[in-house]
Structure 1
Amino acid sequence: MKKLLVTGSNGLLGQKITEAILKYEQPPFEYIASSRGVDRYGESAYLYLDLDITQYEQVAEAIDRHQPDVIINTAAMANVDACERNPEKSYEVNVNAVSNLVGICERKNIHFIHLSTDFVFDGEEGPYEEDDLPNPVNTYGKHKLTAEKLIQQSTCRWSIVRTILVYGIVRDLSRSNIVLWAKNALESGQSIRVVNDQWRMPTLAEDLAKACLTIAERSATGLYHISGKDMFSICEIVEAVAEHYHLDASFICKEQSASLGQDARRPKRTGFILEKAYERLDYVPHSFGEGLKLLDEQLKLLQA
């Protein structure tokens, strides 16, 4: 049985990968979860490592000791405005740490699967195919693209998974996502400012986790676009959340991007053409409405 090491396992995607592996009747991998601090998922059915990917010696020692066959790197500095304010920290996490992982994977013949982003594109001609030309407009996108190029130039077996606006719920999550943010704010009667001039295809975390595990199981290499199948403006996403949960949409203040004064510029319209994932990974994403219904079921279980 192959060994799979996941970095960033405390994040939303990392926890969904853990959850998916634990649901297998016969797991395809010996599973090693790793992240900074204690294990937020908190099960005993796998090995957990307290691991900071920016600490090269720590990472190299862990990989030497446990000898994984596949690494899925979900760890990142993904707060776009924070990356703009602190580009040095962004480069350390989103580029240097990836470069170190790639070097280790080259030496040890490990299949390296790396999570990237729609923000490698400028948003002028979305939705995008895998071979469309990237042109990032902010520090986060530039650093993720730099990491992609390092991976593509390496001699290890590699896969890059670009995704968009991941949403979902887990028991213990350090960062929110657009669905939970909108739901919680509207439930508490807060006015929220939401842009109506940016378009995305929101991605259910379960769908992304399944795609990553399919890539690992099939040893599928190359670049893959993985997202939801529905295109919305950011405002339409929040309005759909309000409608689904019967919340007062009058608290939603529609804004132009320029009026928010955010540190990082955002691409206007991204979105992905998913044909490659459909054909090669048998990828079947949920609709956004289906994703919200799944979140309902999960919330009820957490509150039970």
Structure 2
Amino acid sequence: MNIAIVIAQFNRYIRYEKRMSSHTLLAYSEDISSWYNYITAQYGLETMEEVQLLHLRSWLIMLLNEQQLQPASVKRKISSLNSFFKYALRQEIITKNPARLLQVPKVPVRLPQYLEAGQAAALADAVAKEEEVGSWKERTDQLILDLLYQTGIRRSELLGLRHMDIDWQKKEIRVLGKRNKERIVPIGDSLLESIRNYINFKSPELCNSGEKLLTLKTGRPVSTTYVYRVVHKYLSAVTTLKKRSPHILRHTFATQLLNNGADLSAIQKLLGHESLAATQVYTHINIEKLKDIYRQTHPRSSE
């Protein structure tokens, strides 16, 4: 079967059946498109039956030489190829998956970066210093930071929040996570009041149950770029961390829960991790912190 036709089928599959997030969907689609453009230009391949392992390795080697990819990027591209050929195998388009023979590089585990408790608390003051108190932008920016820090939700989940997702009586919000999986996240009284004040400040026509919670003054929902810029701006005011993305606040949320006695399974559920392994990285942060305390306080730690 023609490779281009199978790619089109695969893209429909991951969008409508697999229901991947928009970020993953774009990454997989771009990877497969890049590989296809390469093999047609270099080898003139047209059908799936012609593809061999060397046509996958050759593309990866080209990327390594020209783009100097990090192990994590190589691993992602291999994952894209493997998903594509697994799909073709299930559809009986091919009889074997050449991508399964690709060696996946080991990716070093990097400890998540996070804010100290004092830095997180200083975020509110940072917004007040930059924006006119009570203005639309000040209220929106503040609520973005509060939601990310106090719930640990992802940026995509934040952007998806609607008025109907807030349960005022139970003090919780419904979050649509990766692969359209819903979870319930509890919220405190102060955050609930902040949301209420924000909604009361908005025009009534922007407060229908199906409308997005966070909007610009024009009524348009805030964008991914807007959220990133807000977080980057105010994190720059309170920390010297090189990475200043919304995920820093998610890491901060999880780290503070762990430091204050929450068990891993509870943190896993709050973060929406599919496996406990993804949550266990925060235990390494805790251990490193204990080591620092030991080095600073024990009289014989340096011996």
The structure richer in helix per residue is 2
TM-score of the superposed pair, with normalisation by structure 1: 0.22
TM-score of the superposed pair, with normalisation by structure 2: 0.22
The structure richer in strand per residue is 1
